[in-house]
Amino acid sequence: MFQILVVGAVVAFGVYIVNNTLDNLASRGIASGFDFLSSEAGFGIIQSLIEYSEASSYGRAFWVGLLNTLLVSAIGIILATILGFIIGVARLSSNWLVAKMAAAYIETFRNIPLLLQLFFWYFAVLRALPSPRQSLVIGDSVFLNIRGFYTPRPVPEDGFWLIPAAIVAGVVAVLLLTRWAHRRQDETGQPFHVVYVSAGILIGLPVLAAAASGFPLSWDIPELRGFNFTGGMVLIPELMALLLALSIYTASFIAEIVRAGILAVSHGQTEAAYSLGLRPGPTLRLVVIPQAMRVIIPPLTSQFLNLTKNSSLAAAIAYPDLVSVFAGTVLNQTGQAIEVIAITMAVYLTVSLLISLFMNWYNKRMALVER
Amino acid sequence: MRTSTRLSVSVAAVAMAGILWAGPVNAGQTMDSVKSKGFVQCGVNTGLPGFSNADEKGHWRGIDVDVCRAVAAAVLGDATKVKFTPLTAKERFTALQSGEIDMLSRNTTWTVTRDAALGVHFAGVTYYDGQGFLVNKKLGVKSAKELDGASICVQTGTTTELNMGDYFRANKMQYTPVVFEKGDEAVAAYDSGRCDVFTSDQSQLYAQRIKLKSPKNHLVLPEVISKEPLGPVVRQGDDEWFNIVKWSLFAMVNAEEMGVNSQNVANIRKTTQDPAMKRLLGLEGDKGKDLKVSNDWVFNIVSQVGNYAESFERNVGGGSPLNIARGLNALWKDGGLQYAPPVR
Ligand SMILES: N[C@@H](CCC(=O)N[C@@H](CS)C(=O)NCC(=O)O)C(=O)O
């Protein structure tokens, strides 16, 4: 009964706030509603994963911003995780120098505010690059200058579909092979070196497919025309700086999490594995890491969430993420602060929840299976 | 000094909360609150020489700043009774809507969207401007029509950003927009070579050029691609306040037209027999009282802030490093557009 009252009160309060807001907006002559999402945006965006031009709608600008946020978060998470695991393991290395260097890395990057690191990469490092005319050239088709990192862009030609098809086939084959190998080991005790064979399949099949279809791929090489390079692919300095800052910073936290996770597995486990005749490699892979992962995953999740939310610092350096494009430019050009901020908050909430859900699912999978 | 994004988002959120809770606006509210707190809270630029810029001692100067001071002189009788809130382009309207500031005087362009959808009113035109482009001389560019393929630094939340989109679309040219939250960041990015071009209102190009490493290596291209009437802004729904802001600016222009300035105003007030002049300076009639301020409001503005010409000259004209000619901002009788309705 009491709970029903509370819920009722909360709902009534919510309705009151919404009504009051709409009344206020109307009496102040401020536009409200979501109609603006379909009107023409009129401004350009430097980086877009989908088709976008000044003639596109504000709604489309929202997707451009969201995808840019997801792009930097996804790449950032991958880089931070790889770097974090390497540093975390290095921190425990028996080699004094390696361990100390890892410790120094962690202490440095964990203790400097992220925004400062971002400014360091963007303003001090990437702004010091030469102008397009004086680009640093690698090989003769990769260029680095103050406007970005330009590489050739692969252009698929007729028959290209064979290659992705081969990749898919390779993945399926590897999955089947793994299941077969497990079953065989369970039944006969014979191990099978899935890793080498899988690598062979995963690389071999696509290469074979490429050869069979006559390498149906050409390259669009960037070239200096007028003010800037055109053609090819470009990684803009704003994205580079954001990736560097986010992954280096977050990696220092992940490294500590990894170290704690490994230390949490008692040394007795390793000794027990050795005395059963397991070699160090399989011991790490089959005994230590699975147990460490149970300790690592929950805090790792919150690092992933942090990284995603921190990506909103993008607006400080002109990277067109959701906050910069939507909660920045769109908000300002339409003046519809309430709608825009509400949508933005809902998006961050959704993305965070999705990441948590995924990590919870993964955590369950990795959890100790009681037999 | 940098506003982190999360900070500005939270500012927007707090401002929104203000709108969620606040009751309706009433005419007279702003005037009463200004009189009772004893100062005008004025939103200005974070730093734009000639328009609003704090000097080393933290003293605000500029033509936009003078409009704030004129309002304080009219309402409170003291031009120094102003508190300034520096705002980026992105923050300005939210700050006004939420009541954080009493008026906005921040090189803001009068457009139909802003008038009709943002719940604000423009109270006049302080400066008639138009958008232009700044380029490094070594690019050898002589016209905006040659800018195809250029990278362009610009500030977010401005009309500038939109005009640029229109101009390049209309001329079938490509460009790469590099969009910053603060003017200073956009200028610094341009200076470091991140962009080929910096674009903003032309007056601001001259103002920002002073901040570059070597100003004389940079050229303002001849094209003016838009109309940018910049003026003070107030909240919609408070006509009394709207009136006094509007007429404070008109008073400065009328004073110039009638030849009254900060040097001669005291003398003229003592000696004048001209009925129009007497009305202007509050010797005759109750114009001030009708506006809910004291009758010597124009005298206070002119003696403490100066007339329009004085403000223009010392901030952006010959008496300043910007050295901008009056041009469109000359009085109507000198071939410009500045024209104020009469004090009658
Ligand atoms: N008049 C235009 C542009 C105003 C504007 O913000 N201009 C920039 C161009 S530099 C500026 O004043 N920046 C200075 C700053 O925010 O520090 C508008 O109202 O949207």
Mean pLDDT score, B73-91: 95
What SS3 state is found at A135?
Answer: coil
Would residue B344 count as lying in a domain?
Answer: no
Which pLDDT score is estimated for B5?
43
What SS3 state is found at B223?
Answer: coil
Which pLDDT score is estimated for B4?
43
Tell me which of A67 and A164 has the higher pLDDT: A67
The domain limits of chain A are 58-136+243-347+356-371
**Distance between CA atoms of residues B231 and B237, nearest Å:** 18
**Distance between CA atoms of residues A66 and A71, nearest Å:** 9
Q: Give the domain CATH number at B184.
A: 3.40.190.10
Provide the residue range defining the domain that includes B207. 131-226
Which pLDDT score is estimated for B325?
94
Which pLDDT score is estimated for A19?
81
Furthest CA-CA distance within chain A: 80
Q: Is the CB of B109 under 6 A from ligand 1?
A: yes
- A residues 306-345 near B, CB within 8 Å? 312-316, 318, 320, 323-324, 327-329, 331-338, 341, 344
Q: Which residues of A165-202 are buried (b: 16+ CB within 10 A; e: fewer)?
A: ebeeebeeebeeeeeebeeeeeeeeeeeebeebbeebe
Q: Residue A132: in which H helix or E strand, if any?
A: none
Mean pLDDT score, B237-262: 97
| A5 pLDDT tier (thresholds 50, 70, 90) | confident
Region of poorest pLDDT, from A158-167, A294-303, B172-181:
A158-167
Examine the domain organization and report whether B12 and B115 are in the same domain: yes
Mean pLDDT score, A337-361: 91
The residue contributing the CA closest to ligand 1 atom 19 is B108
Which pLDDT score is estimated for A335?
86
| B134 pLDDT tier (thresholds 50, 70, 90) | very high
Average pLDDT, chain B: 91
Examine the domain organization and report whether B36 and B170 are in the same domain: no
Examine the domain organization and report whether B10 and B97 are in the same domain: yes
Q: Domain boundary residue among B226, B254, B283?
A: B226
Q: What is the ipTM of this complex?
A: 0.83
Would residue B87 count as lying in a domain?
Answer: yes
Q: Domain boundary residue among B226, B256, B284?
A: B226
**Burial class (CB within 10 angstroms; exposed 0-12, middle 13-18, buried 19+) of A362:** middle
The alpha carbon of B298 and the centre of ligand 1 are apart by a number of angstroms equal to: 30
* Yes or no: domain A58-136+243-347+356-371 corresponds to CATH 1.10.3720.10: yes
Q: Which of B74, B75, B96, B76 is nearest to B85 (CA)?
A: B96
Would residue B13 count as lying in a domain?
Answer: yes
Specify whether the CB–CB gap between B252 and B305 falls below 8 A. Answer: yes
Q: What is the 3-state secondary structure (H, E, C) of A276-320?
A: CCCCHHHHHHHHHHHHHHHHHHHHHHHHHHHHHHHHHHHHHHCCC
Which pLDDT score is estimated for A371?
53
Determine phi and psi for B230, rounding to 5 degrees.
-100, 130
pLDDT tens track for B148-170: 999 999 999 899 999 999 999 99
Region of poorest pLDDT, from A133-147, A172-186, B16-30, B56-70:
B16-30
Determine whether the interchain pair B5/A28 forms a contact, defined as Cβ–Cβ distance below 8 Å: no
The residue contributing the CA closest to ligand 1 atom 16 is B183
Which pLDDT score is estimated for B122?
97
Mean pLDDT score, B243-268: 97
Mean pLDDT score, B26-41: 90
Q: Does the pLDDT of residue B35 top 70, yes or no?
A: yes
Determine whether the interchain pair A20/B161 forms a contact, defined as Cβ–Cβ distance below 8 Å: no
pLDDT tens track for A49-68: 999 999 999 999 999 999 99
- The preferred substitution site among B155, B224, B227 for testing ligand 1, maximizing ligand atoms within 8 Å of CB, is B155
Examine the domain organization and report whether B216 and B249 are in the same domain: no
Mean pLDDT score, A80-86: 96
Would residue B342 count as lying in a domain?
Answer: no
Which pLDDT score is estimated for A264?
92
Residue of A nearest to B195 (CA): A147
pLDDT tens track for A8-17: 888 888 888 8
Examine the domain organization and report whether B61 and B106 are in the same domain: yes
B139 secondary structure, DSSP code: G
Tell me which of A237 and A19 has the higher pLDDT: A237
Examine the domain organization and report whether B98 and B213 are in the same domain: no
Tell me which of A92 and B103 has the higher pLDDT: B103
Average pLDDT, chain A: 90
Region of poorest pLDDT, from A82-86, B227-231, B284-288:
B284-288
**Distance between CA atoms of residues B78 and A87, nearest Å:** 64
Determine phi and psi for B342, rounding to 5 degrees.
-75, 155
Tell me which of A112 and A213 has the higher pLDDT: A112
Examine the domain organization and report whether B75 and B3 are in the same domain: yes
> Which of B20, B113, B157 minimises the CB distance to A17?
B20
Determine whether the interchain pair A335/B157 forms a contact, defined as Cβ–Cβ distance below 8 Å: no
**Distance between CA atoms of residues B179 and A325, nearest Å:** 9
Strands (E), chain B: 40-45, 53-54, 60-61, 82-87, 103-104, 120-122, 127-129, 131-136, 150-155, 175-180, 197-201, 218-220, 228-230, 233-235
Examine the domain organization and report whether B19 and B61 are in the same domain: yes
How many domains are contained in chain B? Answer: 2
Q: Which of B135, B155, B154 is nearest to B146 (CA)?
A: B135
| A109 pLDDT tier (thresholds 50, 70, 90) | very high
Mean pLDDT score, A92-118: 95
Would residue B12 count as lying in a domain?
Answer: yes
Examine the domain organization and report whether B74 and B172 are in the same domain: no
Residue of A nearest to B24 (CA): A24
| B7 pLDDT tier (thresholds 50, 70, 90) | very low
Examine the domain organization and report whether B15 and B73 are in the same domain: yes
Determine whether the interchain pair A341/B178 forms a contact, defined as Cβ–Cβ distance below 8 Å: no
| B2 pLDDT tier (thresholds 50, 70, 90) | very low
pLDDT tens track for B188-235: 999 999 999 999 999 999 988 988 999 999 999 999 999 999 999 999
How far is the alpha carbon of B325 from chain A, nearest alpha carbon, in Å? Answer: 31
Q: Does the pLDDT of residue B312 top 60, yes or no?
A: yes
Question: Which amino acid is located at A33 in the chain?
Answer: G
Residues whose CB is less than 8 angstroms from the CB of residue B279 and which lie 6 or more positions away in sequence, other chains included: B285, B287, B343, B344
| A31 pLDDT tier (thresholds 50, 70, 90) | confident
If one counts every other C-beta atom within 10 angstroms of the C-beta of residue B21, the result is 11
Q: Does the pLDDT of residue B273 top 70, yes or no?
A: yes
Which pLDDT score is estimated for B3?
40
Which pLDDT score is estimated for A252?
97
Tell me which of B9 and A119 has the higher pLDDT: A119
Q: Domain boundary residue among B203, B226, B249?
A: B226
Examine the domain organization and report whether B103 and B233 are in the same domain: yes
Q: Is the CB of B108 under 6 A from ligand 1?
A: yes
Would residue B67 count as lying in a domain?
Answer: yes
Q: What is the 3-state secondary structure (H, E, C) of A332-348?
A: HHHCCHHHHHHHHHHHH
Examine the domain organization and report whether B161 and B120 are in the same domain: no
pLDDT tens track for B109-131: 999 999 988 999 999 999 999 99
Which pLDDT score is estimated for B183?
87
A–B interface: beta-carbon pairs under 8 A: 164
Question: The whole model's pTM is what?
Answer: 0.85
